[in-house]
A and B are shown apart, each in its own frame.
Chain A
Amino acid sequence: MIRVRLTAQLKDWTRGVSEVRFERAENLRTALKLLDEEFPNIGQRILDDQGRIRNHVNVFVNSSNARELDSEETRLTDGDVIYILPSIAGG
């Protein structure tokens, strides 16, 4: 089971749902694709036109930022939790 935790800032796309679960997903890109099927068009809020995580979005797999792993290709295993969060902005 893969859990995806969603920030409230995405409520326009998630209908207010804060967590979804997928039976399995091979990697982060697959999980985000499943998420986009669940909540149409949310994928483009997280990934840019080239399929890369947007500059000011942070996607964590458990406690690690996906950028420090294999970004969108980060492999997932049963029990992983994905957090989709806005990067901190301001001072």
Chain B
Amino acid sequence: MKSGIILLVGTKKGVFVYTSDGGRKRWKGSGPFLKGNEIYHAVYDGRNKEILASVNSGHWGPTIARSDDMGASWKHSETPPKFPKSSGISVERIWHITPGPEDEPGAVYAGVAPACLFRSEDGGKKWSVNEALLKHRTRKRWQPGAGGLCLHTVLLYKGKKKRMHIAISAVGTMFTEDGGKGWSFQNKNVLADFQPIKYPEFGQCVHKVAYNPSRPNTLYQQNHCGVYRSDDAGKNWIDIRNNLPSRFGFPIAVDANDPDRVYVAPLEGDFSRIPPKGRFAIWASDNRGKEWEKMDEGIPRESYFTVLREGMVSDGEDPCGVYFGTTTGRLYIGRNQGREWESISEGLPPILSLSVSTL
């Protein structure tokens, strides 16, 4: 039994903080903090015992805020992510935050729109842009997805500090092995059927990439045009839609204990973005996407839910808990690998993101 779980819920109206013990049956909620701001992502940085939140104000622009007292008070970044004047562009939104490696307690990454990566060396106080991505040879040809040209995924690798994957909608998955000095595309066999060339070098609408750090060469991807797995650290992708009811959805999560078990949240398609037959379900595969099982026990029969790309996560408890939050403000937990769902809250503002950590 772990000492406690913290579940951070980023919403259109602020961030909510939920805590529970390892049993995860009773939850204590607080918030909203950073009220009125869209929180695209909030994470608990266990290295510094701080919450980091991407704060997107419709009026006052984006910034990153930190709290060391579980949300009661916040400090804004001294130098938030900001593009140099020479770029001619401005940060519109901060989409994603990933704390760096354990032995670099100051390192934090942030993905923004228009797509770029920022790094902080001091726990989130000051940020600097990744110049190689800002000046990438293909940048002028990058096109936004419906949510904007956003960098929404950052995957780091234990023991390999210079290796990193990022994902940008609608550019695709990119990879560096020199700490971000150079970036290459890794979109082989990933369909982009809205393009004249169906399998281009880049231009894929990747919605989310996930992995279990214990098996770093296996990546899973929910894309606009399919669900994919890579067994060779992103070099090649295999379509694993198989018996899923749809190829379309936004989030994807890997079981924190079982790297073969993966979760998706299918929607009918981009034309409607509602669940098949109006009944939302999480689908899980125990065999890396060969077969999928529908898991809707505890979810209302009528459930026109949408779960956004950051809206589903798994914890590291045993059995693994899976969480999803909907744009209708409902928050669910499936304590037993998602086999039965229980509501944590039914009345939150539209949920943009979840993250879960051990305290």
Contacts and interface: CB of A to CB of B under 8 A. Distances in A.
A64 interface: no
B10 to A, nearest CB: 18
Interface stretch (B84-92, B202-210, B231-239): B84-92
A44 interface: yes
Nearest to B75: A12
Nearest to B83: A49
Nearest to A48: B90
A40 interface: yes
Chain A interface size range: 20 to 34
B61 A48 contact: yes
B76 interface: yes
A50 B58 contact: no
B112 to A, nearest CB: 11
Contact of B85 (A41, A44, A46, A49): A49
Contacts of A52: 90
B294 interface: no
Contacts of A89: 58-59
Contacts of A41: 76-80
7 contacts: A9-B60, A41-B80, A44-B80, A48-B61, A49-B87, A49-B91, A57-B59
Contacts of B59: 9, 54, 56-57, 86-87, 89
Contact of A51 (B77, B78, B85, B87): B85
Given A13-B76, A40-B78, A50-B85, A45 B90 contact: no
B61 A44 contact: yes
Contacts of B78: 40-41
A52 B78 CA distance: 19
Contacts of A44: 61, 63, 80, 82
Contact of A50 (B63, B76, B77, B90): B90
